[in-house]
Structure 1
Amino acid sequence: MIFELFYHFIFSFIASCAFGFLCRIPNKTIIAGGIVGGAGWIGYHFLSENGFNVFITSFCCSLILSTLSYTYSYIRKYPSTVYFIPGLVPVVPGITFYEVFKELFIGHTGIAQVTFFNVIASAVALACGIIIGNIIFLILIKPFLKRTKAVLR
């Protein structure tokens, strides 16, 4: 179990770092973007392996991604999108959307409808998770980080 989670973290970390490199984000932020992507994918993978539906897994993953992105953004003074966009790459439902069109071309409209609903649910959950992750950061994490900075001075 631990080896499998480590395996998933490493490859999602590499995917996030590679996408960040291709998008030319600042070199100082590539590793942090990879950590954000790896943590988000671990949350997604862990929940999906334990039987949760696509909405819950995408929502929790997006919460992890957005909260970590805003935290890194606050600490390192870069925009949060620098961390969030590369971190989002492993969880975007792109292959699932491809499967919708594949099933439509084959003629399996029932399977295509169910898969398309999963794509829409995943996209809505990602958007909701971003908003709620921002609220969590502003209410819980940012005041804690401000107090920590004041103590360290």
Structure 2
Amino acid sequence: MRILIQFFLSMLATYGFTIYFKLPKKVRLVTSALSGFIWIIYELLFDLSENYIVSFLISSFLIGIFSETFAIHFKKPATVFTLPCLIPLVPGAGMYYIMYYFIESNYILMREQVIKTTLTTSALALGIVLSQGLVRIIREVIKSMKDKKR
């Protein structure tokens, strides 16, 4: 039941951002559903591994793969799908706690939170970059195979 609630909350949050970003109406629901699905994947990966960096890396990698696939299918840029799907994963709480610990002059906890937030955002970025690189390599291989047949 918890997973289903998280799925719908993630979907709802992402749908709000699709409206804010003025995405085309025909991709809003798909993007929101993808975001909910990715959030569930993140939660399951974190429950299994208890490693947030790996969970974020794999989740963002999947966002990149699905975004590139949906971009081809819907004939839209991949960023239309990528950016809204990252919304639930962005470590906003981490940024809040960095500022909170800074104001409270608790520099030890602030430093730990800076490291955790930096690693999290780096994992998100790396996952997107790796997935898009992989998709481009696959496209080039397919293109060269088609050229050889001609």
TM (normalized to structure 1)? 0.84
Alignment of 1:4-153 (within 5 A): 4-139=2-137
**In the superposition, relative to structure 1, how do residues 55 and 141 fare at CA in structure 2: closer, same or farther (>3 Å)?**
farther
**In the superposition, relative to structure 1, how do residues 24 and 142 fare at CA in structure 2: closer, same or farther (>3 Å)?**
farther
Identity of aligned residues (%): 23
**Offset of 1:125 from its aligned partner?**
0.6
- Partner SS for 2:44: helix
CA RMSD, Structure 1 to Structure 2 (Å) = 2.0
Q: Is the 8 A contact 1:43 1:64 kept in 2?
A: no
Q: Is the 8 A contact 1:66 1:129 kept in 2?
A: yes
5+ residue gaps, structure 1, are 145-153
Q: Distance in 2 between matches of 1:57 and 1:115?
A: 18
Equivalent pairs counted in the alignment come to 142
Q: Distance in 1 between matches of 2:81 and 2:14?
A: 9
Q: Is the 8 A contact 1:63 1:133 kept in 2?
A: yes
Q: Distance in 1 between matches of 2:37 and 2:86?
A: 10
5+ residue gaps, structure 2, are 143-150
TM (normalized to structure 2)? 0.86
Q: Which amino acid aligns with 2:2?
A: E
**In the superposition, relative to structure 1, how do residues 80 and 65 fare at CA in structure 2: closer, same or farther (>3 Å)?**
same
Q: Which amino acid aligns with 2:103?
A: F
Q: Is the 8 A contact 1:54 1:121 kept in 2?
A: no
